């Protein structure tokens, strides 16, 4: 980071000099850390839309140009060449692993995939119809109760083993919550399978017959996980960082991130997209009324899978996923009317003034659900698949924050707009 000329803020007659920070890709920030101390002023920024809370070396994205890079490597290259665990290693360590490093890493992850046997009862405690995101957040929280000796974020051994345990155990948790909801037997992890194939096996195999992992499915899921692996300071990563900034352990911090991801404006949108496409098909397939509703200011309806806080041109992940959706459906020989409707919707929206003016483009969630459907995942599992993919990012963000000596507890200010001081009123004197 280099220093540029300082910025000057004038408020009334007073001037305040503020340092300027420049990132390695030329991003410029005005450092307001000392502004309140010097002036009593705070800044007001809804949704942190204009606030950089941290310096980070993990992910670079340029929303105007549709660029996304993990540790400097373009997402397009990683999606094409890497395995998910290779990307997880890259995000956590800042460099691509050598062959022996990757083999050791994969071996360690593989040997932590089992859950403690008594943890089975945790899944059995949930209602069968529980949403898998809620179960996942609870199960990740529960990990802290199984490994109390490895929770101290200041202990390098504890951090390392927790990061590996989390990455290893989440697919098992997801598969087991799915199996429990279906009254199907739990399938134990298999060490002879890679990360993605093992997950598919735990999800879809039966003890009574052989299950062959379809290479088309496993390749596409590997790509989808990589595309979701990190996205710098998004809602869930920020949640993980804020919770972790109070020195909460990794499991508690990431469980909070899972909750953040579950909302329909964030990761929950992939489920929302398919539900929206289903209602369009159910209503006869006409997209016009849905586009009209999305444009109506008085209607809260939004086109799910459209728009992004940062991408104002295109979402590079959506472009890769669209291509994969077409390929996967063709290879699996599955025609899905939802894909047709999705492509029509994209075409209409991209040519519509409302969406053009507001720079609303398909985001990562727009096509991913269509592939998940073709792979046999039920709709309510889509956001959980996003969560598996996002784990390396949450872990890397938490780790970077814990290592950074300048980290401070996340604690924003507010502008109080409530009542001024007033005195207590006895019950008999209060009006209705």
Instruction: Retrieve residue 409's tokens.
Output: 């507890």
Range 41-70, binding ligand ACO (CB under 6 A): 47
Whether 259 is catalytic: no
Which parts of 184-203 interact with ligand ACO (CB under 6 A)?
none
Distance CA 286, CA 341 (A): 9
Q: Which of 214, 315, 336, 365 is catalytic?
A: 365
Q: Cα(76)–Cα(89) distance, rounded to whole angstroms?
A: 18
Q: Per rule CB under 6 A, is residue 304 in the interface with ligand ACO?
A: yes
Q: How far apart are CA 316 and CA 409, in angstroms?
A: 33
Q: What is the DSSP string of 341-354?
A: HHHHHHHHHHTSHH
Q: For 404, how many CA atoms within 13 A lie in the half-sphere containing its CB?
A: 19
Which of residues 46 and 421 has its CB atom nearest to ligand ACO in the complex?
Answer: 46
302 binds ligand ACO (CB under 6 A): yes
DSSP secondary-structure letter at 116? P
As a whole number of angstroms, the distance between CA 360 and CA 375 comes to: 28
Query: What are the CA-CA distances from residue 267 to residues 40, 65, 223, 325, 407 (Å)?
Result: 38, 23, 17, 18, 27
Under the binding rule (CB under 6 A), the answer on residue 267 touching ligand ACO is yes
Query: Does residue 371 bind ligand ACO (CB under 6 A)?
Result: no
**For ligand ACO, the closer CB: 251 or 306:** 306
What CA–CA distance (Å, rounded) separates 226 from 218? 12
- Does 266 engage in binding with ligand ACO (CB under 6 A)? yes
Q: Which of 25, 358, 378, 412 touches ligand ACO (CB under 6 A)?
A: 358
Q: How near is the Cβ of 11 to ligand ACO at its closest, in Å?
A: 27
3: which strand partners? 21
Q: How far is the CB of 383 from ligand ACO (least distance, A)?
A: 10
The stretch near ligand ACO (CB under 6 A) out of 112-120, 187-195, 240-248, 363-371 is 363-371
Which is catalytic among the residues 308, 315, 336, 399?
308
363: contact with ligand ACO by CB under 6 A: yes
Report, in Å, the least distance between residue 172 CB and ligand ACO.
24
Give yes or no: 353 in active site. no
Residue 5 backbone zone (phi > 0: left; psi -120 to 50: alpha; other: beta): beta
CB closer to ligand ACO out of 35 and 343: 343
Among 165, 241, 308, 373, binds ligand ACO (CB under 6 A): 308
Q: Give CA–CA dist 197/81, Å, rounded.
A: 17
CB of residue 317 to ligand ACO, shortest distance in Å: 9
| Ranges within 95-154 binding ligand ACO (CB under 6 A) | none
Give the relative orientation of helices 382-403 and 235-245 as an angle to the nearest 10 degrees.
Answer: 40
**Under rule CB under 6 A, residue 274 binds ligand ACO:** no
CB-based burial label for 45 (10 Å; 0-12, 13-18, 19+): exposed
Asked if 384 interacts with ligand ACO (CB under 6 A), we say: no
Residue with the CB atom nearest ligand ACO in the bound state: 307
Binding of ligand ACO at residue 392 (CB under 6 A)?
A: no
Question: Shortest Cβ distance from residue 294 to ligand ACO (Å)?
Answer: 4
- Contact between 143 and 169 under an 8 Å Cβ cutoff? The reply is yes
Question: By three-state DSSP, how is residue 40 classified?
Answer: coil
Hey, which residues are catalytic here?
A: 308, 365
Site residues, ligand ACO (CB under 6 A): 47, 265-267, 269, 294, 302-309, 358, 360, 363-365
């Amino acid at each position: 980071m280099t220093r540029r000329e300082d910025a000057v803020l004038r408020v009334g007659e007073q001037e305040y000099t503020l340092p300027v920070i420049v990132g390695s890709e030329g991003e410029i920030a005005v450092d307001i850390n000392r502004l309140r101390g010097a002036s009593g002023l705070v800044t007001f920024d809804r949704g942190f839309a204009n606030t950089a809370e941290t310096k980070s070396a993990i992910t670079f994205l340029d929303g105007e140009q549709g660029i996304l890079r993990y540790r400097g490597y373009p997402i397009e290259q990683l999606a094409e060449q890497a395995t998910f665990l290779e990307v997880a290693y890259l995000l956590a360590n800042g460099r691509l692993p050598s062959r022996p490093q990757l083999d050791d890493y994969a071996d360690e992850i593989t040997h932590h995939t089992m859950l403690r046997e008594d943890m089975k009862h945790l899944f059995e405690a949930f209602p069968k119809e529980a949403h898998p995101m809620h179960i996942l957040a609870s199960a990740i929280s529960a990990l802290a109760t199984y490994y109390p000796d490895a929770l101290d974020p200041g202990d390098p051994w504890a951090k390392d083993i927790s990061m590996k345990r989390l990455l290893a155990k989440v697919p098992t948790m997801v598969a087991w919550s799915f199996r429990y909801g279906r009254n199907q037997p739990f399938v134990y992890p298999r060490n002879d399978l890679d990360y993605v194939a093992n997950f598919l096996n735990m999800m879809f195999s039966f003890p009574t017959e052989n299950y062959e992992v379809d290479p088309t499915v496993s390749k596409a899921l590997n790509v989808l996980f990589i595309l979701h692996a990190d996205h710098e300071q998004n809602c869930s990563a920020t949640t993980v960082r804020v919770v972790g900034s109070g020195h909460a352990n990794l499991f508690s911090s990431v469980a909070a991130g899972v909750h953040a991801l579950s909302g329909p404006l964030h990761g929950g949108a992939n489920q929302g997209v398919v539900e929206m496409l289903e209602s369009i098909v159910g209503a006869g397939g006409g997209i016009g009324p849905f586009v009209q509703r999305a444009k109506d200011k008085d209607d809260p309806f939004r086109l799910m899978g459209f728009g992004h806080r940062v991408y104002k041109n295109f979402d590079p992940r959506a472009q890769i996923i669209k291509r994969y959706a077409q390929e996967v459906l063709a290879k699996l020989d599955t025609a899905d009317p939802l894909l047709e409707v999705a492509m029509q919707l994209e075409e209409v929206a991209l040519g519509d003034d409302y969406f053009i003016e507001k720079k609303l483009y398909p985001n990562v969630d727009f096509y991913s659900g269509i592939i998940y459907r073709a792979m046999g995942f039920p709709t309510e599992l889509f956001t959980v698949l996003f969560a598996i993919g996002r784990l390396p990012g949450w872990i890397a963000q938490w780790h970077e924050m814990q290592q950074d000596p300048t980290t401070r507890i996340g604690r924003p200010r507010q502008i109080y707009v409530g009542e001024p001081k007033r005195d207590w009123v006895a019950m008999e004197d209060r009006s209705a």
